[in-house]
Amino acid sequence: MYEIITKKKQGVELTTDEINAVVNGFTTGEIPKYQMSALLMAICLKGMSTRETTDLTMAMANSGDQLDLSALEGTTVDKHSTGGVGDKTTLIVAPIIAALGLPVAKMSGRGLGHTGGTIDKLEAIPGFRTEFTTEEFLHIVQKHGLCISGQSGNMVPADKKIYALRDVTATVDSIPLIAASIMSKKIAAGAKNILLDVKTGNGAFMKNLRDARELAQAMVNIGKGCGRKTAALVTDMSQPLGRAIGNSLEIREVIDVLSSKKNAPQDLIEICVALAANMLLLSGFGDISVCMAMVEEALQNGAALEKFAEMVAAQGGDRKYIDVPSNFEQAKYIIDVCAEKSGYVCEIDTEGLGIAAMQLGAGRKQAGDTIDYSAGIIMHTKIGSCLEVGDVIATMHTNMPETLDIVTRKVISSLKIAEVKPKIVPLIHELIQ
């Protein structure tokens, strides 16, 4: 291990055997944390080649259980988002894809800090189960075409151990390590085709477009190196996606989109149509215009909504909450926040709004915290909105009235107001293949 650390410190490529030995040795406890920390810092400073990063990804993917999806009929396709505020795209895209005949065996995570988790949102539906044996999981996918579950306890254990160490050694922001961490879980999840949604902006992990592009390209290269058809969309997270931030509020917004409601947020629809169409494109359904038409048809004819409701019932959830969303329990305190200045919204502190929703009870400060599924924020403004003093900019939902004053100030301060209308940033920056 001393020689391996020295090689990487000097910027020399590690061999496949060396990378496998490191991952296996650290996972089993043979390599101590202090040596692994030194290697992680050397990687952070010196980087890794595409071949090294692909080898690291495969070594991590092979460290635990892997899903075998070969028994499923049709091409298997997976999607991963790097996360943000109000990002409920999986809950819309997965039913669209399943309604169009492709099996979706999706493993998702929980939220922590300012970002929400897909599993937490689904668990806002009473009775909804997210933990299954592999056999149960695959049975639901075979029968219904779609299952979204929590991540397996023994899937990619190397990543769990390495990430815990990165978190306390200032090595989280290494693009090779980020890419290997994400892609090891995607490879272990078994899908042959992978579409990545790499967010950029102040509400995303990658704050600027250059870093987002670099991460997207690194992950696409890894996917191809591991024999998976892979592409990435670089998308905007400089403001919350859609209007709802918070678990049951976001589920209701998902139902609005799947029901083709006129008041469904257009930014969320645009992103979801693009993601679903590119998943179909990867899977050989035709050119992008054909794929987009198929996606829009699945939304318009109700097939995607029906598939979502079918999945909810198959996973133990109460379908009446999908059929009649007003059945969701409402928070006791629903309070509007009003603008104190006139002008155009030129900037939104997206991460700050995610933290504000967490303070209302919608998220976790640390693992193990309890979530209030009814809590959150509905935003009524976007970048470019024209405000007058007294206009409602957001509505807070909470069962903790003691948080209202501080969150009100946080929401107001999250909007930067100017006299001139700002240039609107595109929702989709580029496709990387």
Q: Do the Cβ atoms of 106 and 94 come closer than 8 Å?
A: yes
- Tokens at 80, concatenated: 């991963």
State phi, psi for 354 to the nearest 5 degrees: -60, -40
DSSP bridge pairs for 430: 234
Residues 189, 109: contact at Cβ < 8 Å? no
Strands 229-236 and 428-432, by their bridges, are: antiparallel
Q: Collapsing DSSP states into helix, strand and coil, what is residue 343?
A: strand
Burial 251-284 (b: 16+ CB within 10 A, else e): bbbbbbbbbeeeebbebbbebbbbbbbbbbbbbe
Active-site amino acid positions: 80, 159, 166, 181, 185
HSE (side-chain half, CA atoms, 13 Å) at 105: 33
For residue 80, what are the β-bridge partners?
A: 196
User: Cβ neighbours of residue 331 under 8 Å, at least 6 residues apart?
Assistant: 372, 374, 375, 397, 398, 399
| Beta pairing partners, 79 | 195
* CA distances from residue 395 to 92, 245, 371, 372 in whole angstroms, order as listed: 24, 10, 19, 16
What is the DSSP track for 133-200? -HHHHHHHHHHHSEEEEEPPTTSSHHHHHHHHHHHTTT-TT-HHHHHHHHHHHHHHTT-SEEEEEEEE
